[in-house]
Amino acid sequence: MFQTQKCIKSIFRVIRRGAFITACSVYGICFGAETLLPQVLPTPPVSAQPLPTQVAAELAKLKIPQDAISIVVYRLEGAKAEKQPLNEILSHNALIPRNPASLMKLVTTSAALDLLGPAFTWTTQVFLGGPIVDGALMGNLYIKGQGDPKLGVERLWLLMRRIRGLGIQTIQGDIVLDRQSFETVSTDPSEFDGEPLRPYNASADALLINFKSLLISLVPDPQAKVVRIHVEPPMAGLKIQPTAPLVGGECTDYRAALRADFQDANQVTFKGQYAASCGERTWPVAYSDPTRFAVKAVDGMWRELGGVTSGQVREGPVPQSLRATITVDSAQLAEVIRDINKYSNNVMAQQLFLTLGYQINNAATTESARSVLNQWWTKKIGTPLPKFDNGSGLSRETQMNALDFQKLLTWTHEQSTYPEIAASLPLSGVDGTLKQSRSKIRGHIKTGSLKGVMAIAGYLPNTSGQEFVVVAIINHPTANTARPVFDALLDWVGNHK
């Protein structure tokens, strides 16, 4: 009884500090006691160390309270774990667990480089279920995916060309797609944020083709007064309206103006118009029937290249007796993580996350991948363990604190793969998700954003050439307005002596 009363009093102390209120306001619900206690009770009082004047001023302008932000600034020169107090320049709410959004990708990519190596590749295999006789494959053709996160239209075309290069013109059987290397993830693409047509909401897949998304090309033809519409990859059974009216005027929201209808998995129509001043555009759209995307894309590409099959394209396992005839390797991991981190690609991050489970535990499941990350974190970074969820940060369940990321980035800086991680991060004010940064200080910084969440973490030099780790996480209903706060922080670090 005494312990229970003591625990309750501790909770009230945390509530008075505002941590519980912040959690409720950000997520719209209050955690149950089982979830709240391990995360909140160890949190120390808000740091007495004042925020930089310009950072505090930007927070005040945006009416974001200082207890909604966590910051760690850490000098890397001579940095070792045992020198933590000496190298710490700024610490504010560093141990409060928060949703870090896409900063989670730093954990997934760092672990993957360490466990798999920068030269790791994924393979997609082709198996023949019979002999080739006079241009005809006498049996099924099998394509087995093993998680390649970047099997786009061009590489699908090359794969089909290699099959044709075997002398196969006709398949006297089926084309069978084996997606069993990864667990089947059946998700509602609108569940997370109500945006089912956004490619970032696609689920992971052992045979992930073009992120399960259509790439719509819009090319104005002023002479014909139409915009010509072309879609990749070619999808079997999908009819695309080839043109829409071309009009004058200013280019505003061309997507809304076209009034596209993507709900029918067999037909795409456009009921609006397109402004000639918009020029050529490319519009990626998640396919409305993602479970059938691979089947339709492979079927469509095979037909596009003149291939014929007497059967159908379907899903199924590769017979154990067969050996691969063609093996297609992906880009190396060091290249893949550039897309994951610079452009915060959620689908690719989830592919990498499940790959860790597949390669280390021989099970590409969410639980297997979490187990790999937990073991790796314990060994390399230390405890307590954060809550990793799906490895991409596209989650309301992920929980980490600013000090977690500082420790991770400091550890990464000491590894031989540090150049690969640094090169994968957006260069502030230059490219990726930080291209629009107004800070004049150039650093390699990962960003994270969700509704109610904005965060940055990475490496930043000052004007004297000293390098710092910078981490800042805001969980607040108006966090999406906080870019000036981060710009002010980067400028402050860059000018710190």
pLDDT band at 53 (very low <50, low <70, confident <90, very high): very high
For the chain, residues classed under CATH 3.40.710.10 are 44-118+333-494
Angle between helices 346-361 and 333-342 (to 10 degrees): 140
pLDDT of residue 114: 98
Lowest-pLDDT choice from 21-35, 66-80, 91-105, 362-376? 21-35
pLDDT band at 442 (very low <50, low <70, confident <90, very high): confident
pLDDT band at 364 (very low <50, low <70, confident <90, very high): very high
pLDDT of residue 26: 28
> What is the per-residue pLDDT across 78-121, written as a single tens digit (0 to 9) for each?
545 444 556 889 999 999 999 999 999 999 999 999 999 999 99
pLDDT of residue 309: 96
For the chain, residues classed under CATH 3.50.80.20 are 123-187+292-329
Long-range contacts of 407-410 (CB under 8 A, 24+ apart): 407/81, 407/381, 407/382, 408/106, 408/107, 408/110, 408/381, 409/106, 409/457, 409/458, 409/459, 409/469, 409/471, 410/74, 410/76, 410/79, 410/81, 410/469
> Rounded to whole angstroms, how far apart are CA atoms 289 and 197?
10
Lowest-pLDDT choice from 80-94, 154-168, 333-347, 378-392? 80-94
pLDDT of residue 197: 61
Tracing tokens 């992930």 back to the chain, one arrives at: 208
Q: What is the pTM of this model?
A: 0.85
> What is the per-residue pLDDT across 192-230, written as a single tens digit (0 to 9) for each?
555 556 676 678 999 999 999 999 999 999 999 999 999
pLDDT band at 384 (very low <50, low <70, confident <90, very high): confident
> Rounded to whole angstroms, how far apart are CA atoms 334 and 314?
33
Is 44-118+333-494 CATH 1.10.260.40? no
What topology is assigned to 123-187+292-329 in CATH? D-tyrosyl-trna(Tyr) Deacylase; Chain: A; (3.50.80)
The 3-state secondary structure of the chain, one letter per residue = CHHHHHHHHHHHHHHHHCHHHHHHHHHCCCCCHHHHHHHHCCCCCCCCCCCCHHHHHHHHHHCCCHHHEEEEEEECCCCCHHHHHHHEEEEECCCCCECCHHHHHHHHHHHHHHHHCCCCCCEEEEEECCCEECCEECCCEEEECCCCCCECHHHHHHHHHHHHHCCCCEECCCEEEECCCECCCCCCCCCCCCCCCCHHHCCCCCCCEHHHEEEEEEEEECCCCEEEEEEECCCCCCEECCEEEEECCCCCCHHHHHCEECCCCCEEEECCCEEHHHCCEEEEEECCCHHHHHHHHHHHHHHHCCCEECCCEEECCCCCCCCCCEEEECCCHHHHHHHHHHCCCHHHHHHHHHHHHHHHHCCECHHHHHHHHHHHHHHHCCCCCCECCCCCCCCCCCEECHHHHHHHHHHHHCCCCHHHHHHHCCECCCCHHHCCCCCCCCCEEEEEEECCEEEEEEEEECCCCCEEEEEEEEECCCHHHCHHHHHHHHHHHHCCC
> What is the per-residue pLDDT across 291-325, written as a single tens digit (0 to 9) for each?
999 999 999 999 999 999 999 999 999 999 999 99
